[in-house]
Structure 1
Amino acid sequence: MLMVGLTGGIGAGKSAVSARLRELGAVIIDSDVLAREVVAAGTEGLAAVVDAFGAEVVGADGELDRPALGAKVFGDEAARRRLEQIIHPRVRTRSAELTAAAAPDAIVVNDVPLLVEVGLAQTFHLVVVVEADAATRIARLVRTRGMAEEQATARIAAQASDEVRRSAADVLLDNTGSLDELLAKVDELWRARLRPYESNLRNHRIAAADEGLVESQAEWPAQAARLAARIRHALRPVLGRDVPVAHIGPTAVPELPARDEIELMLPVASPAEADKVNDALAAAGLPPRPGAVRAYGSADPGRPAGLQVRVEGSAEWRSALLMRDFLRTVAPARARHATAVVREPWSDADVAAAEQWAAATGWTPA
């Protein structure tokens, strides 16, 4: 199944996106709803809250008195963390149960307001961020929730910044326009990316990439970093450590035209270790390339990518890093490479120039 993280600042319109995705057929797991369920009357979670904060946080109806609890944790970092240690693990457990109950071809959307703040982005195949400017969000909060402007401004300031959220976003939905405009964007996202991605993921199929060259894109390094984080997360249980996934190839070289396909390299300790990663990579959205050896491609039609698994210290591993760093550093070599209409394999002269540069500069793989 395809796992999607959905987030956005207060007043941005995340709830409208979540509701539309539910209408389209997504399985919605709402963290706010679960956070209430795990401390409902009679639950073990509520008992833990009472143990930590006292019986006065329970109302006459047996339910959690949220204003009373809020008064205890507001401005008290230690108290807030204690509350999170009670609620967050229970929410994760319940979320896992709901995910396990979903159909194999489901698109499961985790609606998580603090997805970025708590560092969950790498746990999803795709992260969708809903965004609107602060003035629009404040006006919505005043109009729809009855907040004073000062209260709305304070709530927005207490959350992650738009810049931080954008850094985690594979998809950014701008909601400064009308509701109809937002819903049209959601419908297109479902049709053009989420449904094909789920099908590719389930069938271990690689999304097609455009063969033409495009100008260097400023967002390529950030996209590579998000993919690398997902790979590290997926392989941590398999390899028992974090792996330093490298961004290689033309998209890793600023100012260099390239095919719009991120290239990554995963170093492993041995061929035997390389054989362990296949299933985890496929589950993370990187199925093996048919007929290729230790090569994988992205199932996401919105972000073509390739991954090479190479033994650390091998000639292939070293060469990929050397040529990347050589082109990043030596402008004439980068200029020559940029003018090639059709990229040819590295010539002996190219390799010799790179080796001379490495020797002269003391370059080592990193």
Structure 2
Amino acid sequence: MLRVGLTGGIGAGKSTVARRLAARGAVVVDADQLAREVVAPGSPGLAEVAREFGPGVLAADGSLDRGALGAVVFGDAEARGRLEALTHPRIRALTEERVAAAPDDAVVVHDVPLLVELRYEARYHLTVVVHAGAEERVRRLVDERGSTEEDARRRVAAQADDDARRRAADVWLDNTGAPGAVLAQVDALWDDRLLLFEAGVRARRPAPRDDGLVLSPPDPAWQAAGARLAARVARAAGEAAVRVDHTGSTAVPGLPAKDVVDLQLVVPDLAAADAVADRLATAGFPRHEGVVSDTPKPGAGTGGWEKRLHGSADPGRAVNLHVRAAGSPGARYALLCRDWLRAEPGERDGYAALKQRLAAQHDRREDYAAAKEPWFTDVAWPQMQAWAARTGWSPPA
């Protein structure tokens, strides 16, 4: 099963996308619909709301008067918190009930208007954001929903901004064009990514990767991608996670790299790494077969370089997840190399030049990686060790 979070600002066209995904075969769980169900007439949820806020929030027929309740909680954070304390646990329980009822091979789309505001991104294999500019959203609210311009602008301004949504988005669907134009993007997402991602998660199989080698220019979006993916790994690993970090070239601003996010999960020992492997696979990070070790570095001993390597079942985002034991030289090296390159622009630029030169000489990733290894061992290792001693660097706690 694949769990997808779907969100977007009011008026962006999220419902259009949800309907299309449902038409293609997704199981859509609509958070707004569930919120209405938990306070339906005669429900325990509605009775609790009425006890908390008084009979004035009920209509003459005994249903919830949403306007009256909104007048009580809008602009009052304390009152809104009390309402959420009553309704959110019921909505969560109902959500999990609907998800559990979906087939094992389902793509479950959780339609959540406030996904970004609630920081739910780590709960899903993938987060999809539907975007339209603020002015276009205001126009739609006025022309299509009968809102006043003042009310429309107030509603748009009350939600997360575009920068926050971009940080949360694995997929950004631009719906600023003509009505229905976004549907082609949705179809491509379904055919080329979601179905394949679900199959990979179910089969516990990393997505295939092209053996070709392409270095991409530095991309600021790598930082947000690393943060999103690290949060998912941490959630999946639970208490076994000592820490999760974005490492490798995409973690160093200004450094060209293959468009692959490297993550490091530190666990107490490799027995813990094996124990958590199935949870990581369920979260979309299946393990590669075989025993994998980092190359020992001079003076750091020969033990402690073994690790477990996981990939991503997502065909749209290549990931190397290195699972290493706490206190191991391999775990220390990954963080030290990242922090040294971040702190020393000259060394970063020298490494960038080496990468470009070797990429021009090799067509396959494996050959390129092997050609870089002498630099890591003979050049970078002593320099970063000296930098660590000079600056007092130690692995982050």
Partner of residue 219, structure 1: 221
CA RMSD between the two structures: 1.4
Other structure's SS at 2:181 match? helix
Partner of residue 297, structure 2: none
Which deviates more from structure 2 when the two are superposed, residues 149-158 or residues 57-66?
Answer: 57-66
Which deviates more from structure 2 when the two are superposed, residues 154-163 or residues 325-334?
Answer: 325-334
CA distance change for structure 1 residues 243 and 312 in 2, over 3 Å: closer, same or farther?
Answer: closer
Q: 2:392 aligns with which of 350, 354, 362?
A: 362
Indicate yes or no: 2:104 matched with 1:104: yes
Distance (whole Å) between structure 1 residues aligned to residue 322 and residue 205 of structure 2 = 17
Deviation of the 1:61 alpha carbon: 1.8
Other structure's SS at 2:11 match? coil
Name the aligned partner's letter for residue 245 of structure 2. A
Distance (whole Å) between structure 1 residues aligned to residue 377 and residue 215 of structure 2 = 21
Indicate yes or no: 2:352 matched with 1:353: no
Partner of residue 321, structure 2: 307
Give matches, 1:115-130, under 5 Å: 115-130=115-130
> Is contact 1:208–1:304 with CA below 8 Å preserved after alignment?
no
Deviation of the 1:75 alpha carbon: 2.5
Name the aligned partner's letter for residue 338 of structure 2. R
Distance (whole Å) between structure 2 residues aligned to residue 30 and residue 349 of structure 1 = 55
Indicate yes or no: 2:120 matched with 1:89: no
Deviation of the 1:359 alpha carbon: 1.6
Gaps in structure 1 of 5+ consecutive residues:
none
CA distance change for structure 1 residues 361 and 74 in 2, over 3 Å: closer, same or farther?
Answer: closer
Partner of residue 302, structure 2: none
Distance (whole Å) between structure 1 residues aligned to residue 187 and residue 224 of structure 2 = 26
Other structure's SS at 1:224 match? helix
Name the aligned partner's letter for residue 29 of structure 2. I
Partner of residue 285, structure 1: 284
Partner of residue 151, structure 1: 151
Name the aligned partner's letter for residue 383 of structure 2. A
Partner of residue 328, structure 1: 342
> Is contact 1:8–1:129 with CA below 8 Å preserved after alignment?
yes
Deviation of the 1:54 alpha carbon: 1.5
- TM-score, scaled relative to structure 1: 0.95
Give matches, 1:1-366, under 5 Å: 1-210=1-210, 211-236=213-238, 238-239=239-240, 243-293=242-292, 294-340=308-354, 341=358, 342-343=368-369, 344-345=372-373, 346-366=376-396
Distance (whole Å) between structure 2 residues aligned to residue 153 and residue 350 of structure 1 = 53
Deviation of the 1:288 alpha carbon: 0.2
Deviation of the 1:188 alpha carbon: 0.8
- TM-score, scaled relative to structure 2: 0.88
CA distance change for structure 1 residues 58 and 332 in 2, over 3 Å: closer, same or farther?
Answer: closer
> Is contact 2:242–2:326 with CA below 8 Å preserved after alignment?
no
Deviation of the 1:13 alpha carbon: 0.5
CA distance change for structure 1 residues 270 and 72 in 2, over 3 Å: closer, same or farther?
Answer: same
Deviation of the 1:228 alpha carbon: 0.5
Distance (whole Å) between structure 1 residues aligned to residue 255 and residue 67 of structure 2 = 56
Residues matched between the structures, number:
363
For residues 247-300 of structure 1, give each alpha carbon's deviation from its aligned partner in whole angstroms, at most 9, with x where no partner exists: 111111222222111001111122232222111100110000122441100111
Other structure's SS at 1:245 match? strand
Deviation of the 1:350 alpha carbon: 2.6
Distance (whole Å) between structure 1 residues aligned to residue 149 and residue 267 of structure 2 = 54
Gaps in structure 2 of 5+ consecutive residues:
293-307, 359-367
> Is contact 2:287–2:311 with CA below 8 Å preserved after alignment?
yes
Partner of residue 305, structure 2: none
Distance (whole Å) between structure 1 residues aligned to residue 113 and residue 166 of structure 2 = 14
Percent of residue pairs bearing the same amino acid type = 52
Deviation of the 1:180 alpha carbon: 2.7
CA distance change for structure 1 residues 75 and 325 in 2, over 3 Å: closer, same or farther?
Answer: closer
Which deviates more from structure 2 when the two are superposed, residues 12-21 or residues 200-209?
Answer: 200-209
